[in-house]
Every structure is written in C-alpha cells, then in structure tokens.
C-alpha cells in the first residue's frame, strides 16, 4: 500500500509539473480540462499495471544481505513496527472522516439553498435568488445570485453569461469528482494542486465563452474586478474568485498557435511512456530452460563412444550364447540414463539382457540354539468296527475264538484277504517355504519369536531352517497371522 501511494503521488507530480510548464498559460482550455482529469486517473492507474517477464531459472541469482543489530535495537524496532500500522490507519480514517463530513456539509448546504429560496427558470438554467450578499456562483444548472441586485438588474449580462457557461459545460461534474477523490486521497498534496488548476481552467473556459459572444476584453475585465470577491464560497460551486483574476487576464491576451498546440501535445507521448515504465510493476516468472536441462542430462562424446562400443558388442551376440560382464552392463545403464532424448534416438539400441539365473540355495549351518529336535510322529489310525462274517456264505474260512477285547480278524486260506483295510498313508506335509509364500500373497502378518517381521524376512528365516515351527491362524481369511517358533508346524483355521 505504501509503495502504491508513493508511486501514484510521483505520477501526479510529474503530470502537474508538465501542466505548469507547458500547458497552463495556453488557450487550449478544453484540452487542459481533459488533461487534468486524465492526470488524476492515469496517475492512480499506472502503479496498478503489472508487466510480466519470463526469466530462465539458470539466470536468477538470489542475493542475501546480512545485517546485524543489537538485541535492544531489534526489540525496540519490532515494538514500534507492531503499532505503526494501527497508528497510520487511525490517522487515515480520521482524515477521511473529516473530509467526508465536509463534503456532505457542503452538498447539503447547496441543496438547502435550492430548496429554501426563490427560483426562476430561464431556459435550461435556474436562478436561485438569495437574500445574502454573495457573489454569483454555479452548481450544475443552478445559478446563485443576490436577490436585490438581480431584481434591480444590477448584475451585468456578461456576468450571467459567465455563470451560464459554467452550467452549460457541466463544470460541477469535475468538481464533484475531485472532491470525492480528495476524501479518499486526502493525504496526497498533488490532489489539492490539481484541484486548484481544474477550477482555474473552468474560469478560463467560461471567460472564453463570454469573449466569443463579442464582448470587449477590457470591459469584461472591469466587470470581473467589480464582481470578484475574496469571500470563500462553497467548495462545490464555481464562483468568481479574486485570486484567479491576474492569471485570467494574462490568458485572455494569449493566443496559442495550432503548431505549438500539436508540439506540446506530442510531448505527452514520451512523458506517458516514461511514467508507465518507471512506476508500473514488473513481475518475474521463473521458467525452465529446456536447452539448459538438455545439456545437464546429456552424455559426453567419450561416453557416447563407450556406449556405442559396448552396445554393438552385446547386440552382436546371440541370445543363447551370451557372455555378459556385470561391470559393462552397469556402465551401459549409467550412460543410457544420462543421455538426452535426442542422443537416445540416434544411439545404438540398448541390448536385451536375459534375466540372471536364480542363485543356488545356500547351505547354511543351523545355529545350535535354533536346532530343535522334532518330536516323534504319532500315527493314529481310526479303529474300523468289525462285523463277523457268515461262515456259510464265506467259503474256506474258519472262526477265530474271541480273546478278550482283541479285534476279531478273519483270514483267508491263503492269508491274502482280510477284513482290516490297510491304514491310510500319512498326509504329505506342505513345504514350509511354499506355505510362507502363499500366506504372504494373502497379506499375512508374520511373527518370529513374538516379534513382528516382514514376509521377506520370514521367507529368509524358513529357507535357513525348514524345521522351525510355523503356526498359522485364520488360514482362509484375507489377513492370516503366521507365527514362527521352534516347535513343529501348526495350522489353525
């Protein structure tokens, strides 16, 4: 905000200085009117304009300035800076409030005069007759005149033409604009200077309108002296002010040629360009430099020659009869990753290397503390109930006497047939490694000696010792739990 205030004030200062030096004493009054209003608008707009420039990332250099200060100075400065925004905003709001009240009072004063006093319409103008002793002044189409002088016809026609010119050319719109702008930017001194120039130029315009009616210049100047006054009128009205008389008389005698008008107008172009590039904002956006990136990731000529030599060597070998050196393969990969996209497109194709064979299963000595003797397997065979056959129906058989609770057995003559089937073969136990891998695919949680481990760690442990105990819970669920310990294999659904 502070930067914007300073920049806008500087722009207005340059415009005002140009006006005082080259334009004020000329007769280009209509052009000067738009110039002064435009100076305010352009001066407030230029600091808001932003020019964007794109800078390559490699061109940006960040500089760091290091300063040192004592702890006391830093604490005092920080305390003051904390309260400074509050102080500045309080002063600004107080000033804006004061000028707002003054603007409202002046506006209400004019409206009150219009409402409470006698009014006479003359074409598009309305004469407001006041009982007070006032000099003629104008607000839009309302011309305020002294009632006694108006009724006694003591107000000359030239003075009425002057006030009617103010009303016809809508000079009150310029006054309202500058007064509202003054409420917001009351702290800017160039607002007051430009406001004074705008009001003076209004008098120039009105004087020129009267003189164009054929009024003699000397006679008109005498009338202005007679009706001018130092009494301060309403700020929103155009009044005949004595302080403007000297400059107005000087301008009345001045004649500006068209050539001088165009030359002075052309000077505005370099002035506007200077202000635009001096007080606008420049924004820098960092972009990547494709060329720089390509240089950083490209391989050198020596590396490209080395890559080409190795790639041709392995591309010439047959797939079934390759002799591959690990160091050369790693070197090929390193150079290929370093190449740019153009180098890869023009280089020898990267050789196809078959996957390396699986390493042999290492024979690992089992530590003594991990070796656990397997308990003897107990084979439990379900007892099949015996049904005594009918000796009459079964030939070549004999009855075996019943001895206690011993099972009854009937044997054939050739001891081939028997009523007891052979025991079923024991189930083939699942390979521990296959079991661990299948559980890992089900996102199982693994524990070794009550400590949580990863699936890869579990597989590694079982590869080293397949005689460890594997206890699986919720085997058919999505997230089973596998505990590895030192006792047999257990699977719990």
271 and 192 share a domain? yes
Mean pLDDT across 75-104 = 85
178 and 108 share a domain? yes
* pTM (2 d.p.): 0.56
The model's confidence at residue 65, banded by pLDDT at 50, 70 and 90, is very low
Residue 42 falls within a domain, yes or no? yes
Which pLDDT score is estimated for 432? 83
Q: Measured on CA atoms in the order 410, 414, 417, 421, is the torsion positive or negative?
A: positive
Instruction: Check: CB of residue 142 under 8 Å from CB of residue 129.
Output: no
Residue 436 falls within a domain, yes or no? yes
Q: What backbone phi and psi angles, to 5 degrees, belong to 394?
A: -105, 110
Considering only the C-alpha atoms of the chain, give the largest distance between any 2 of them, rounded to a whole number of Å. 169
Q: What is the pLDDT of residues 250-268, one digit of tens each?
A: 888 888 888 887 888 888 8
If we measure between CA atoms, which residue out of 90, 122, 101 comes closest to residue 182? 101
Highest mean pLDDT (candidates 127-131, 251-255, 321-325, 450-454): 127-131
33 and 174 share a domain? yes
The model's confidence at residue 172, banded by pLDDT at 50, 70 and 90, is very high
Which pLDDT score is estimated for 173? 95
Q: Give the C-alpha distances (Å, rounded to integers) separating 374 from 174, 315, 378, 469, 489.
A: 108, 54, 12, 10, 10
Instruction: Check: CB of residue 159 under 8 Å from CB of residue 136.
Output: yes
Residue 155 falls within a domain, yes or no? no
221 and 330 share a domain? no
306 and 262 share a domain? no
Mean pLDDT across 298-304 = 86
Instruction: Check: CB of residue 117 under 8 Å from CB of residue 129.
Output: yes
Q: Is the pLDDT score of 58 beyond 60?
A: no
Q: What is the pLDDT of residues 273-283, one digit of tens each?
A: 999 999 988 87
Question: 441 is in which domain, residue-wise?
Answer: 432-491
| pLDDT above 90 as % of the chain | 32
463 and 323 share a domain? no
Q: What is the pLDDT of residues 138-171, one digit of tens each?
A: 999 999 999 999 999 999 999 999 999 999 999 9
At residue 227's C-alpha, the angle toward residues 224 and 233, to 5°, is: 115
Which pLDDT score is estimated for 489? 47
Q: Give the C-alpha distances (Å, rounded to integers) separating 198 from 35, 138, 186, 246, 405.
A: 10, 15, 17, 16, 135
The model's confidence at residue 293, banded by pLDDT at 50, 70 and 90, is very low
Distance CA 236, CA 142 (A): 12
Instruction: Check: CB of residue 125 under 8 Å from CB of residue 164.
Output: yes
333 and 440 share a domain? no
Neighbours of 135 (CB within 10 A): 18
Residue 462 falls within a domain, yes or no? yes
108 and 257 share a domain? yes
Residue 321 falls within a domain, yes or no? yes
Mean pLDDT across 459-479 = 80
Q: What is the pLDDT of residues 368-389, one digit of tens each?
A: 554 445 555 444 444 444 455 5
The model's confidence at residue 233, banded by pLDDT at 50, 70 and 90, is low
Residue 99 falls within a domain, yes or no? yes
Number of separate domains in the chain: 3
Neighbours of 167 (CB within 10 A): 20
Q: What is the pLDDT of residues 391-439, one digit of tens each?
A: 555 455 455 455 555 555 444 444 444 556 666 666 666 788 888 888 8
Q: Is the pLDDT score of 230 beyond 70?
A: no
The model's confidence at residue 311, banded by pLDDT at 50, 70 and 90, is confident
Mean pLDDT across 433-460 = 85
Q: Is the pLDDT score of 356 beyond 50?
A: yes
24 and 82 share a domain? yes
204 and 271 share a domain? yes
The model's confidence at residue 270, banded by pLDDT at 50, 70 and 90, is very high
Q: Is the pLDDT score of 100 beyond 70?
A: yes
Q: Is the pLDDT score of 361 beyond 80?
A: no
Which pLDDT score is estimated for 463? 83
Which pLDDT score is estimated for 255? 83
Question: Which range among 31-35, 42-46, 242-246, 414-418 shows the weakest confidence by mean pLDDT?
Answer: 414-418
The model's confidence at residue 59, banded by pLDDT at 50, 70 and 90, is very low
276 and 302 share a domain? no
Domain final position from 346, 361, 378: 346
Residue 487 falls within a domain, yes or no? yes
43 and 104 share a domain? yes
Residue 92 falls within a domain, yes or no? yes
Domain final position from 282, 310, 333: 282
């Amino acid at each position: 905000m502070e930067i914007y205030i300073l920049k806008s004030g500087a722009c207005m200062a340059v415009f005002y200085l140009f006006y005082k030096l080259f334009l004020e004493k000329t007769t280009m009054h209509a052009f000067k009117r738009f110039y002064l209003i435009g100076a305010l608008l352009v001066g407030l707009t230029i600091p808001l304009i932003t020019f964007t420039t794109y800078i390559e990332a490699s061109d940006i250099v960040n500089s760091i300035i290091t300063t040192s200060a004592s702890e006391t100075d830093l604490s005092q400065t920080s305390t003051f800076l904390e309260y400074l925004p509050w102080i500045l905003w309080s002063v600004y709001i107080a000033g804006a409030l004061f000028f707002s009240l003054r603007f409202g009072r002046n506006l209400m004063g004019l409206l009150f005069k219009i409402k409470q006093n006698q009014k006479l319409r003359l074409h598009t103008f309305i004469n407001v007759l006041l009982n007070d002793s006032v000099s003629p002044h104008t607000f839009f189409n309302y011309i305020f005149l002294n009632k006694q002088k108006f009724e006694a016809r003591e107000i000359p026609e030239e003075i009425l033409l002057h006030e009617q010119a103010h009303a016809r050319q809508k000079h009150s719109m310029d006054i309202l604009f500058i007064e509202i702008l003054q409420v917001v930017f009351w702290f800017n001194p160039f607002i007051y200077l430009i406001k004074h120039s705008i009001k003076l130029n209004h008098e120039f315009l009105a004087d020129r309108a009267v003189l164009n009616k054929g009024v003699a210049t000397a006679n008109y100047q005498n009338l202005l002296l007679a009706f001018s006054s130092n009494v301060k009128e309403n700020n929103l009205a155009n009044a005949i002010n004595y302080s403007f008389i000297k400059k107005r008389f000087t301008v009345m005698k001045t004649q500006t040629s068209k050539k001088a008008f165009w030359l002075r107008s052309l000077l505005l172009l370099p002035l506007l360009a200077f202000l635009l590039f001096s007080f606008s904002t420049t924004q820098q956006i960092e972009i990547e430099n494709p060329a720089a990136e390509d240089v950083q990731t490209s391989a050198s000529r020596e590396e490209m020659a080395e890559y080409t030599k190795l790639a041709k060597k392995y591309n010439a070998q047959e797939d079934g009869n390759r002799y591959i050196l690990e160091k050369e393969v790693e070197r090929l990969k390193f150079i290929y990753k370093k190449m740019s996209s153009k180098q890869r497109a023009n280089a020898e194709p990267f050789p196809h290397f078959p996957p390396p064979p699986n390493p042999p299963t290492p024979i690992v000595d089992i530590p003594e503390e991990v070796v656990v003797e397997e308990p003897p397997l107990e084979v439990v065979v379900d007892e099949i109930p015996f049904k005594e056959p009918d000796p009459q129906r079964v030939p070549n058989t004999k009855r075996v006497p019943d001895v206690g609770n011993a099972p009854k057995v009937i044997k054939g003559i050739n001891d081939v047939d028997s009523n007891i089937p052979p025991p079923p073969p024991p189930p083939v136990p699942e390979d521990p490694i296959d079991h661990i891998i299948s559980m890992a695919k089900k996102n199982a949680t693994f524990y070794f000696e009550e400590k949580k481990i990863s699936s890869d760690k579990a597989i590694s442990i079982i590869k080293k010792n397949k005689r460890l105990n594997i206890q699986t819970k919720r085997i058919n669920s999505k997230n089973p739990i596998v505990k590895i310990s030192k006792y047999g294999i257990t699977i719990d659904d």
